[in-house]
Amino acid sequence: MSVFILRRLLQSALVMVAMAMIVFFGVHLVGDPVYMFVTPDMDQQDIENVTRALGLDRPIWEQFWLFIANALSGNLGQSFIFGEPALGLIIQRMPATLELAFAALLMAVVIGIPLGLYAGLYPDSLASRTIMAGSIVGFSLPTFWVGIMMIMVFAVMLGWLPSTGRGDTVDVFGIQLSFLTLDGLRHLALPALNLALLKISLVIRLTRAGTREAMLQDYIKFARAKGLSRSRIVGVHLLKNILIPVVTVLGLEFGSLIAFSVVTETIFAWPGMGKLLIESIQQLDRPIIVAYLMMIVFLFVVINLVVDILYSVLDPRVRLGDRGQ
Amino acid sequence: MASTETPAGGAAPVRPALDTPFRRFLSDFTDSRLAVLAAILLVTIIILAVFAPWLAPQNPYDLAVVSIFDARLPPGSQSMDGVTFWLGTDGAGRDLLSAIIYGLRISLSVGVASAIIALTVGMIVGLLAAYAGGRIEGLIMRIVDIQLSLPAVLIALILLAILGKGIDKIIIALVIAQWAYYARTVRASALVERRREYVEAAACLGLSHARIVFRHILPNCIAPLIVVGTVQTAHAIALEATLSFLGVGLPQTEPSLGLLISNGFEYMLSGKYWIAVFPGVALLITIVTINIVGDQLRDVLNPRLQK
Amino acid sequence: MTRETVLEVRDLRTHFFTKAGVARAVDGVSFSLARGEVLGLVGESGSGKTVTGFSLMGLVDPPGRLVSGSIRLGGEELAGLPEEGWRRLRGRRIAMIFQDPMMTLNPVLRIDTQMIEAIRAHAGVSREAARERAREALARVGIPSPDERLAAYPHQFSGGMRQRVAIAIALLNEPEVIVADEPTTALDVTIQAQILYEVQKLCADTGLAMIWITHDLAVVGGLADRVAVMYAGRIVEQGPVDAVLDAPFHPYTHGLIGSVPSQNRRGERLTQIPGMAPSLLSLPEGCSFAARCPRADAACTVMPELSELEAGRLARCHHPHRTLETARGGAA
């Protein structure tokens, strides 16, 4: 097990280094990175000083090592606009994004699994067909368009829910959280649902396919032959089997939730790191873009690692197979 | 030419001749009434987009025609010159219907252009991977895997952040975000074909690599490519709309549907819903019809692939 | 043969209502089962033997349905029972063992979970008491160090061991009847023999009655007390196992025995039944075996009744083999 984790950690580190290289040389390719640190009021002499101070006059490989060394010590440059460390700004905004993404994930599970189960258990019923048609529509609608429609219907026309911001937050260990206040929850509802929509469709499809396949298996019939109640068969025998692929896929999709939160945060003015990214792109605040990218890659790597471990916990076959190695 | 082909053809298993493949395809495709409806709609949309200057009620970007005094009129209103704006007007007084038709033109061009380029790039890389094998294949597929694990919207966003706005830049971003899907598809079907006897026979006969790839392997990858291409075109259109909506895609001089929606978004909170909603509906119809046609194509083309 | 009857099946009909038509998988099956008795239910695949087994458990899924007939278990009528009634019965008074031991145990649940839940579904006992009973059941079917094995997952067992676990689960609530659907088909011959021996002992010791569904006449010969041969949804011959195997009445049984290698002498040619089993969707008028039967004639266009030709021996045929010709080696 520990060998398995060690190998995965090593792989992850490699991916991080590869991505750092791509980001570094990508930025180099496009423009002189000295302008990432230059303010408009500098003259030529100042720029040269900055260049030397940053080591930008040295060979590119040396610079790359410097970049890596700085990155490892958490220094990804200073934001032009805020004049603060870029990584710090990203981390400051991260809780809002993570809260949104987790809320969406929760919605995907809480809404998607029961609907998918129902559609899988009663595939011919009218309700199931409606569910499946809904999931197909949910799949092809662009997120931003659905978000706009949600604002129009629930915020503008019905006036039920607010359309912008986080609302009241509670400070928990220095992190602001919305879901602990009623006002925060009301603010969270629309953006989270918007972000969750694609994943709900995905979970419905996965759960339905898994249910239909599992219900034909002998172990379900054997469980019935033991005289178990339907709720136990569905809730334990069936669910535990289909949860393995659903959890795996959902875990891997968590990264894409964070990526898509860029869209949702912009529409609902949710003050997370996705909104910060869009603002930085519009203001050409490159250090923040670089920091965001490195952070996202890091998150993806961590998520992949966690999913692999979680998978081995859920499926005894994988778990014991590794111990045996 | 004929002399090289006969032995290769002779080594291949005899395939049952399809009685006019196109007619069979057409009759399979029309099995689904929904797909036929979608195809008709899609053709209409394409015609509207291609012939926009002749079909649109006004040229929304001709300053001589557009009047700021007609701005934000609700659907069905009349202009001061007595022209009816069926879908209302936008913030600059443009006829929304015309703006949508022109927007379709831009959205479709960007989507189709990027899909064609991504298809070409992905096809070449995928063929290379399948044909070269070994380390080259391993490396290419590793890159493809990593890229597919990152959401396309993120890749495109970052590229545009580096490249800046512009119709050429967004096409580049979409191509880079999407080539991997094609590469994977082509490699998968090319691998199947490569192991067939006739390809080995062709190689034994000393046919050139290029000839084997383009005459023998590639034709068998076309059906899955069509299917993936259709779906990816819809993705490209949605992606471009998303990026333009976020303000990092097309400049204001190239008002695609995404930009129209973005421009209308600010008026929505004051109840002027139509400026954002109608372009959105047009976008939606475009994406959904392409997806339905793509789904049907998959159903029609797939069983034949397995033969 | 005066033992007390536990299971009485009368005119059981289970049909499948598919788009292509009605498939009469089980069409008028009757038999009875006494305490401690093993009944072999023999037939080709598609003959309706497995569906008969599922019908006895109330486990026929749509589009299949128990159309008519009576199933009396210890005097209680089961046909027409609501689902909850069936559930209370299953695993408690009548249990089932499936064909493929690799598929019947849930791969993601531990053995103890799967055993304890089977006990607690029917009796309000504590988890600890249930665990103790599970341990005993594992020991009874010959699983070494049952304490450790309880905490294991199915994939850590071999096929034979898994089938023992499945048998142990079936035995947990001391049912009156066990329906075993080809439980040894997927196993090695040596393991098959061990399991058969233990099952036989169980039935003799505890008075458990068993329906052993199989296509393997050799297994039936070694295990069962009586045998019922099914063809196209009906029982075509039934009787004490030795008598039926030695001198079958029905041409179909005759053909089946002729096609078993071990029943033939060296050098003698194996016989085979010509033709294929008829589609259940379009059964012919009259005897369903007529098309493949060497003895068929005009009389066979009328469905023969299942009639008692000797004491305790039934056959559904207009032209049954008589003892003398059977001894000569068939009429073909």
How far, in Å, are B2, B11, B17, B216, B217 from residue B201 at the CA level? Answer: 16, 7, 22, 11, 13
- Which pair of structure tokens corresponds to residue B276? 């954002």
- B107: confidence class by pLDDT, cuts 50, 70, 90: very high
Tally the C-alpha atoms within 13 A of residue A319's C-alpha that lie toward its C-beta. Answer: 15
d(C-alpha A77, C-alpha A67), whole Å: 9
C91 to A225: CB separation less than 8 angstroms, yes or no: yes
More confident residue, A197 or C159: A197
Q: Is residue B86 situated within a structural domain?
A: yes
Token match 């259109």: residue? Answer: B237
* A contact test, residue of B32, B142, B157, B298 with most A CBs within 10 A: B157
B246 to A278: CB separation less than 8 angstroms, yes or no: yes
C-alpha closest to that of B183 among B124, B135, B113: B124
CATH for A90-318 (2.40.10.10, 2.60.120.260, 1.10.3720.10, 3.40.50.720):
1.10.3720.10
Residue B116 has pLDDT above 90, yes or no: yes
pLDDT at B8: 40
The whole-chain average pLDDT of chain A stands at 81
**pLDDT tens-digit map of B170-223:** 999 999 989 999 998 888 888 877 777 777 777 777 777 777 777 777 777 788
C-alpha closest to that of A52 among A37, A71, A74, A39: A37
A263 touches chain B (CB under 8 A): yes
d(C-alpha B107, C-alpha B234), whole Å: 10
Residue B231 has pLDDT above 50, yes or no: yes
SS3 C73: strand
* Residues contacting residue A124 through CB under 8 Å, at least 6 positions apart: none
d(C-alpha B128, C-alpha A324), whole Å: 39
Find the mean pLDDT for residues A260-273: 91
Residue A270 has pLDDT above 60, yes or no: yes
**pLDDT tens-digit map of A18-64:** 777 877 777 666 656 566 566 667 777 777 777 776 666 777 777 77
Q: Which residues pair with B77 in a beta bridge?
A: B85
A255 to B163: CB separation less than 8 angstroms, yes or no: no
More confident residue, A92 or A252: A92
A27 touches chain B (CB under 8 A): yes
A266 vs B contacts (CB less than 8 Å): 246
- Most confidently modeled of A67-81, B78-92, B111-125? B111-125
- B3: confidence class by pLDDT, cuts 50, 70, 90: very low
pLDDT at B30: 78
pLDDT at A50: 72
Q: Which of residues 121-140 of A touch C (CB under 8 A)?
A: none
Domain boundaries, chain A: 2-72, 90-318
More confident residue, A32 or A106: A106
d(C-alpha B157, C-alpha C107), whole Å: 43
Which is it for the CA torsion A99, A104, A107, A109, positive or negative? negative
pLDDT at C4: 85
Q: What is the CATH number assigned to the segment(s) C5-93+177-191+206-330?
A: 3.40.50.300
Neighbour-count burial of C302, counting CB atoms closer than 10 A to its CB (0-12 exposed, 13-18 middle, 19+ buried) = exposed
Find the mean pLDDT for residues B131-149: 82
Q: Which of A219, A225, A320 sits opposite C59 (nearest CB)?
A: A225
DSSP H or E run through C235: strand C234-240
pLDDT at B304: 47
Q: Which of residues 43-102 of C touch A (CB under 8 A)?
A: 57, 59, 87-92, 95-96, 98-100
A225 touches chain C (CB under 8 A): yes
C57 to A225: CB separation less than 8 angstroms, yes or no: yes
Query: Residues for chain B: how many in total?
Result: 307
d(C-alpha A144, C-alpha B287), whole Å: 14
pLDDT at B117: 95
Find the mean pLDDT for residues B8-28: 59
**pLDDT tens-digit map of B38-57:** 889 999 999 988 888 887 77
Shortest Cα distance, chain A CAs vs residue C280, angstroms: 22
d(C-alpha C195, C-alpha C179), whole Å: 15
**pLDDT tens-digit map of C107-148:** 888 888 999 998 888 888 888 889 998 998 888 888 888 888
Find the mean pLDDT for residues C3-10: 87
More confident residue, C323 or C52: C52
- Which pair of structure tokens corresponds to residue B63? 């300053």
pLDDT at C328: 45
- Most confidently modeled of A295-309, B205-219, B274-288, C304-318? B274-288
**pLDDT tens-digit map of A118-169:** 998 888 888 888 888 888 788 778 888 889 888 888 888 888 888 887 877 7
Neighbour-count burial of C5, counting CB atoms closer than 10 A to its CB (0-12 exposed, 13-18 middle, 19+ buried) = middle
A27 vs B contacts (CB less than 8 Å): 162
d(C-alpha C317, C-alpha C296), whole Å: 10
A262 to B160: CB separation less than 8 angstroms, yes or no: no
C110 vs A contacts (CB less than 8 Å): 316
C91 vs A contacts (CB less than 8 Å): 225-228
Nearest CA in chain A to C152: A316
d(C-alpha A294, C-alpha A77), whole Å: 12
ipTM: 0.84
Task: Decide: B and C in contact? Rule: 3+ Cβ pairs under 8 Å.
Answer: no
Q: Which of A219, A225, A232 sits opposite C90 (nearest CB)?
A: A225
A227 vs C contacts (CB less than 8 Å): 87-92, 118, 121-122
C57 vs A contacts (CB less than 8 Å): 225
Shortest Cα distance, chain B CAs vs residue A31, angstroms: 9
Q: Is residue B82 situated within a structural domain?
A: yes
pLDDT at A54: 63
d(C-alpha B28, C-alpha B49), whole Å: 28
**pLDDT tens-digit map of C155-170:** 888 888 888 888 889 8
**pLDDT tens-digit map of C253-287:** 888 887 776 655 566 666 777 777 777 777 777 88
pLDDT at B7: 41
Find the mean pLDDT for residues C289-296: 81
d(C-alpha C282, C-alpha C289), whole Å: 13
d(C-alpha A256, C-alpha A271), whole Å: 18
d(C-alpha B15, C-alpha C314), whole Å: 56
Q: Quick one: DSSP state of residue C154?
A: G
Q: Using an 8 Å Cβ cutoff, are B276 and A148 in contact?
A: yes
Domain boundaries, chain C: 5-93+177-191+206-330, 103-172
Residues B249-277: b if buried by 16+ CB within 10 A, e if exposed: bbeeebbbbbbbbbbbbebbeeebbbbbb
A144 to B162: CB separation less than 8 angstroms, yes or no: no
pLDDT at B300: 79
Q: Using an 8 Å Cβ cutoff, are B244 and B252 in contact?
A: no
C166 vs A contacts (CB less than 8 Å): 222
Give me the number of domains chain B comprises: 1
d(C-alpha B258, C-alpha B280), whole Å: 8
Is the backbone of residue C294 left (phi > 0), alpha (psi -120 to 50) or beta?
A: alpha
Question: Angle at which helices B33-50 and B21-29 pack, to 10 degrees?
Answer: 110
Find the mean pLDDT for residues C79-96: 88
A217 vs C contacts (CB less than 8 Å): 103
**pLDDT tens-digit map of A202-235:** 999 899 988 988 888 889 989 999 888 889 999 9
Residue C324 has pLDDT above 90, yes or no: no
pLDDT at A106: 93
A247 touches chain B (CB under 8 A): no
Domain span at B122: 32-67+77-305
Could you tell me where the beta strands, DSSP code E, fall in chain B? 77-78, 84-85
pLDDT at A175: 75
SS3 B147: helix
Q: What is the pTM of this model?
A: 0.79
Q: Is residue B1 situated within a structural domain?
A: no
C91 to A221: CB separation less than 8 angstroms, yes or no: no
Q: Using an 8 Å Cβ cutoff, are A267 and B242 in contact?
A: no
Q: Is residue B23 situated within a structural domain?
A: no
